[in-house]
Structure formats: C-alpha cells, structure tokens
Structure 1
Amino acid sequence: MSTDFELDDAQLAAELAARAGDLLLDLRDRELGTDPLPKDDARALSRRGDADANGLLLAMLADHRPGDAVLSEESVDDPARLGAARVWIIDPLDGSREFGLPGRPDWAVHVALWERDAGITAAAVAQPALGRVYRSDTCSAAFTDHARPRILVSDSRPPEFAAPLAERIGGDLQPMGSAGAKAMAVLRGDADAYVHAGGQWEWDSAAPVGVALAAGLHCSRVDGTELRYNEAHPYLPDLLICRPDLAPALLSGIADLTGAAADSPRVAMVREYLGSLLSHDASKVRLAADCFRVENGRRTGESGPEIVRELETGAQYLPLTAIRELTFTEFGTDVVARFLLDMSVGDETSTVALTEHFAVPGAEIAAVTAIIEPA
C-alpha cells in the first residue's frame, strides 16, 4: 500500500475525477453507439459505470489516503465517518441517466474532501465528454451578461416553483442533467443560476459546491442556509448555485413562492421511495442490503437489491397511477406514511388505503412494513 502524499488534496481530487472519467468514457465509447439503447440496457450500462468508477476511486483513495473515511453513493454508508476528521465524498457517476444516452455530455464525476471544522476543503468535478476537470484550487467563475438570466434545472425533476421564479426575475429556464454539469455551466458563465429542490444527496452537491464556492459563486440551501456535509443522514434535498449578484432576488423569490416546511432527511428518503412506485425509477432510493418488505403479514421483499429491482421492473407496480392524501408521521428513527393509492387496469380504476411503516436507523431504509386495506 502506498502512502505517497506528493499530491496535495486538491490535486488528488482532480486526479481521481480525471481517472474515473477516463474509465467511464472508455466504457461508454465501447458500449454506446449512435442509437439509443433499450431502457434496461441503458440502465445496466449506467450501473456498470457507477460500480467500475466507484471501485477505481476507492482503490486510489485507499492507496493515497489510507487513513481517511469515504462517503460514496455506490458504497454502504459506514457510520464511522461521523467521527472522522477527513471524509472524501464521492459520486462516481453523476447523471447516470444521461450517461446512457448517445450524444449527452451532461454527466460528471464528483470528488470532494470534507474536513472537520472546515467543511469542503478540496474538490474536483470532471466532465469527461467535454474533456474538462474543474478543481477548487485553480478555478474562477466567468460572468456573462445575458439579456435574460438563464436558470438551470433538472430535466427530469425541476422544482415546482421554477417557472414562476424565472418569470419573477425575467429569466428563462433551461433543463440539463447532472448537478455537476449544471454547476460547472454556471461557473463557465453559460448560465446564471442552478436551482434544485425535491431530492439530492450529499455526493450530488459536495464537489460542485466545493468548486463553485472556491470560484466565487453563491452556494446555499434554497432558504439561504448553509450547505452542511458529513451529516448523519446524507440527504441534502435542495441547493442554489448562482452569480452572487442574483442571490438576493432568487432567495427572496423562492421564499415568497414556497411556504411548506422542508422534509426531514428521513421523510425525504421515504418520499423518494414512494415516488418510485409511480416512476419505476429507484436510482435515488437508498435501501440497506438486508432490507425487507412485508405486506399484510406476508414477505414481499427479501433484500434491498430485490426490492429495487421490483420497484423498477415488477409487473405489480405497472398499474399504479396516483398517490393521494399523503401524510407522514415521524417518531425516533421511524416514519409512517398514510395515503390512498390508485390503480388502473384498462378502463377500471380502484383505490386502496395504505399505511406503510419505514425503519430508517441511518442513511438507508432498513425495513418496510405495509398494511393494505380497502379505501
């Protein structure tokens, strides 16, 4: 095992991101042609990229920084990181959906170092399809005078308030994949702001925020509070990255347009799970490897991977059309969701009432127990 510290932390972050980016680019070039892959094949390619890049990053960190902890999207969360002085927060492939689509450059690799009492101290974001690596020790923001501010949002899950916010400041919305790609577009001056709400994890934003802050951009939660990392629950659902001069107007507009209290991390994790019942996309659902599901006393899921596979491809979920009257109760490490669930088969629609109990002792859902009753 090497303990070579010739590279400082920012240089190492850039080297890690670049090496993982090269791996992903080679894989994509080999497996992805000019025509779109079938959905299942594209998803499999993205998951292979996630796993391969994660393995490379973990091996390099073990070699170069063996005493540091790691928080990765693709690894089981180790609670020991909470007591560590240094934690690398990595997303081996941000924008996995875009990675599996021909011609899409908006995917990235994120590598950030969190240090106790200092926050993110080194970061790098690689955009392999653009041949670029942005690093916190060398970057600077470019500001372009656009006639109408350009606000970047998720192309799959834009915030509900995004359209009225853009109208309020006389701007235009532009969809884009990957949090890192959107943040770096603001850094380059291609856009003026990136706004997200509705679900992210620490690894989605740690490196982009580390680079953006070092470059002189404004970075915060959408309510203006600080973005905090290496928390017990690494769910960090929203952020604003923008030109500093735009921050007051954007934060004021968001405050006026939103009134509901933000979800707690546990409730947000459960909401992501419930959303996957309808979307059949469980890429953001965090389940423990030994997670199980019980419905009316009968086991319907024996492991986290099995439950994820069923959420995405199970025939029993295809007829589900709507979740209504959803409420949450949180107590200790548990969350109870109560809601009505609509199902449609042909012209027939039926509704059942569900009470689902989620055990969430840490950064993953450990168990789901459901009671299903006639509505």
Structure 2
Amino acid sequence: MTDDSQLDDARLAAETASAAGELLLTVRAIEGDALTGRELGRRGDRAADTYILERLAAARPGDAVLSEESADDPSRVEADRVWIIDPLDGSKEYGMPSHVDWAVHVALWEAGKGLTAGAVAQPAIGVVHSTGDVPPPPPVSRRRPRIVISGSRPPSFVFDLAGELGADLIRMGSAGAKAMAVVRGEADAYIHAGGQWEWDSAAPVAVARAAGLHCSRIDGSELEYNRPHPYLPDLVICRAEWAPEVMAALARHAVGPGDSPRVAMARAYIRSLVSHDASHVRLAADAWRVENGERTGDSGVEIRDRLEHGPEYRPIRRIRDLQFHEWHHSVVARFVLDIATVPGGGKPASEMSVAVTEHFDIPAGEIRSIVAVIEPHPQNS
C-alpha cells in the first residue's frame, strides 16, 4: 500500500487524479444506463470529489482545498498551500457515452510560488499528464496551426482570429482535454474567453508550463490563483513558437472587458432561469432567496433544485434587456422575462412579460442571498 506521506506533490497529484478517474469510469459503467446525462455527471462529480478530498486530507492534512464541488472556505486565501481541484471537468461530456473529452484536475498552489504541482487525468483514453514527468510537445510539420476551442461556447472573436492566422479550429469539451491536446502536440493552441473558474485551468496550466508551453490570460497578463473570487474568465495555452503570433492576433481581435467575478456569478444564475441547468451556479450552503416578500429558498440545494425543476420557471422563454450594476459585495440585475401563458378556450399559447430586479449578495466566492422584485411589464398593456 502506498504511503502518502512519502509521495512528492507531483506524484500525489498524479496518483490522486488517476484513481479518481478510475472511480469515474466505474460509476459510468454501473450507473450509465440508469441516470440521465446531467444526473450521471453530478453522480460522478460527487463521488470523485469525496475521494479526492479524503485522499488529500490523509496525505496533506495541513493543506487547504478549493474544489468546484465543495463549499468555499475564505480562509484558504491566507493558507500557504492550497490544492485546486476539479473532480470532473467536462461533466456534460462524461454524461454522453460516446465522449472521451473529460478529465480530472488536481493542482497545488503555494504562497509566493504559484502553481507548483499538478496532474490532469483523461480516464477514457487511459492517460495521465503530470508536472513530474511531462515532456515538451513533439515537433510538428503542419503549416496551418490547429486551435482547440469550446464545443458549446467558443469566443466570438476566435473565428476572425483563425482567419488571420490561417488556423483550423477544433471543437472539444473539457478544458483539461483541450490543454492536453496542446501538450501532446495534437493542437498548437487552446484559447478560451467568456468564463472559467480557477479549477478549470489550474492543473492544465501547471502541466502545460512544465512542458514549456506559453500560458497566460488573453491580454498577456499572468494567470493568478487562490484569489478571494475564484473566477478566471479567459486563458491561452500555446506552443512557444506560435505564441508571439497568436498573442499579437489576440491583441487585435479579443477586445472589450469581461464580467467581474461577482457579475459572472449573477449571470450564471440568470442563465439558469432559461436553461434549467444550475450546474454552474455558485450558491452558499445557507443561501436564501426572497421574491416579492415571500421566502422561496432556504438553502443552496433548495434554490438550485427549484431552478431546475420548479414549475414556476418552466414557462420562461427568454431573457432580454439585461443590465448589471455592481458595488462592494452587491450585484443588481435588471431584465425582462418573456413567459409563455397557459392556453385556454382553444386559443394558442401567448406570451406575457415581467420586469425583474434581482439583488445578489456575494461577499466571497458564492452567492449568499437573492432578493427579487417582479413587476408587470408596461408592454403587456
């Protein structure tokens, strides 16, 4: 039996990510027929998160942890060592039997040093890349660069950028899968904008840096981890020989400010009103919500469940005229909801609109409370 106390950090990261990946394969094999794609992803996420937390607690009991699937402890910001983990990166792809583009991320951040160890496991293809043994990417002879991008939400500017570079675009799930494609030389760059979290990129960046790749924000600035708000919206991982050209093209095409961390959290909540998927909504365990003076949620679990299954959200068809205002810990969102009305008397369904104001209290990395005011919209009259 392996003695965790004798493992160096890179080896611990690799063994932990690998074992969590094997667990995910087992969950997928046993429960894949019984659970829907989303529920299978959540089942796998919870199982892998529990395993990784227990393994790290046994091996490094004094270290802090930042995990996508666990409540955020603000005291981690003052810790000397913080493990940043994503138990299942690409849960959507994991829930689709034909997909192999999902991963497990385990990374270590140290005060004054940044990312010092990490591993990305891709269980479906039997591969684990670690900072302890990753080689430089092999040389390639292709003349057109290959850029991997999100399969579901690619940056709007990336198509013009690809045209300028003469690049081929490859859509793929999971940040880890995309980053490791560059590490292995299957692609030349991975570009993302529009929203990510520290756990999405920490392990991939640690491994990519160990392989000698360029890693930065899309504006060329440093990627910083273990911040009070773990929102890290954009990322570039690129072969060193392509970096000057890619970064110069990004400077011309990737313009405009992105969301702040708090606005990003509020936006994720508002998107879920239509998508009925609250997987990316960060809610504190004791979060609460009030709507027009009535309590509509007493915990993060209850609010998330109502977003996904509550009948009051099913008729929502679209969100428009969305505006955000932010100060201190507060974000106020104002928008219009178009809602389908129930048909009656042989008449087809129609729509009505309501004006919504939602006040979010976000003191740290999770939404603590939501106060909503819903009013008739003038266009209804």
What TM-score does the superposition give when structure 2 sets the normalisation length? Answer: 0.92
Amino acid of the residue matched to residue 331 of structure 2?
V
Worse overlay, 215-224 or 137-146 = 137-146
Contact 2:119–2:128 (8 Å) recurs in 1: yes
Residue 294 of structure 2 corresponds to which residue in structure 1?
Answer: 298
* Matched-pair contact (CA < 8 Å) for 1:85–1:115: yes
TM-superposed deviation, 1:24: 0.7
Counterpart in the other structure of 2:355: 353
Cα 1:316/1:167, change in 2 over 3 Å: farther
2:216 pairs, out of 209, 220, 244, with 220
Q: How many Å apart are 1:258 and its aligned residue?
A: 3.5
1:249 paired residue among 245, 251, 264:
245
Partner letter of residue 319 of structure 1?
P
- Corresponding residue of 1:29: 29
Select the residue among 55, 62, 66 that pairs with 2:61: 66
Between 1:320-329 and 1:128-137, the stretch displaced more is 320-329
Distance across 2 between alignment mates of 1:150 and 1:365: 38
Q: Which whole-Å CA distance do the structure 2 matches of 1:216 and 1:323 have between them?
A: 44
Q: Tell me the residue number matched to 2:337.
A: 341
Aligned residues: 369
Cα deviation for residue 338 of structure 1 reads: 1.3
Tell me which structure has the larger Cα radius of gyration: 2
Q: Which residue pairs with 1:168 in the alignment? A: 164
Aligned mates of 2:31, 2:350 — CA distance in 1: 42
Residue 65 to residue 196, structure 1, CA distance change in 2 (3 Å):
same
**What is the rounded CA distance, in whole Å, between the counterparts of 2:31 and 2:102 in structure 1?**
16
The amino acid of 2:8's aligned partner reads D
For 1:255 and 1:264, locate their aligned partners in 2 and report how far apart those are by CA, in whole Å: 20
Question: Which residues in structure 2 correspond to 1:268-347 (within 5 Å)?
Answer: 268-345=264-341, 347=349
- How far residue 95 of structure 1 moved from its aligned partner, in angstroms, is 0.7
Please state how far the C-alpha of 1:228 moved relative to its aligned partner: 0.4
CA offset at residue 3 of structure 1?
8.1
Q: CA RMSD of the aligned region, Å?
A: 1.7
Listed one character per residue, the Cα deviations across residues 256-302 of structure 1 (whole Å, up to 9, x for unaligned) are 23432221111111111111122222111100111111111112222
Q: How far 1:347 sits from its partner (Å)?
A: 5.0
Residue 102 (structure 1) aligned with residue 104 (structure 2): no
Q: Indicate conservation of the 8 Å contact 2:218/2:254, yes or no.
A: no
Instruction: Tell me, yes or no, if the aligned pair for 1:328 and 1:336 is still in contact at 8 Å.
Output: yes
176-185 vs 292-301, which deviates more? 292-301
Match for residue 197 of structure 1?
193
- Code of the residue aligned with 1:187 in structure 2: it is V
Residue 46 of structure 1 and its aligned partner are, at CA, apart by: 1.3
1:246 Cα deviation (Å)? 2.3
The percentage of aligned residue pairs carrying the same residue is 59
Aligned residue in 1 for 2:344: none
> Could you give the per-residue CA deviations for residues 321-361 of structure 1, whole angstroms, max 9, x where no partner exists?
32222221111111111122222345523222211100001
TM-score, structure 1 length as denominator?
Answer: 0.94
Question: Any unmatched runs of 5+ in structure 1?
Answer: none
How far apart, in 2, do the equivalents of 1:350 and 1:246 lie?
A: 52
Give secondary structure in 2 for the equivalent of 1:137: coil
Moved segments of 4+, more than 4 Å:
none
Aligned to 1:75: 70
Shift of residue 152, structure 1, vs aligned partner: 1.1
Which residue, 79, 86, 92 being the options, matches 1:84?
Answer: 79
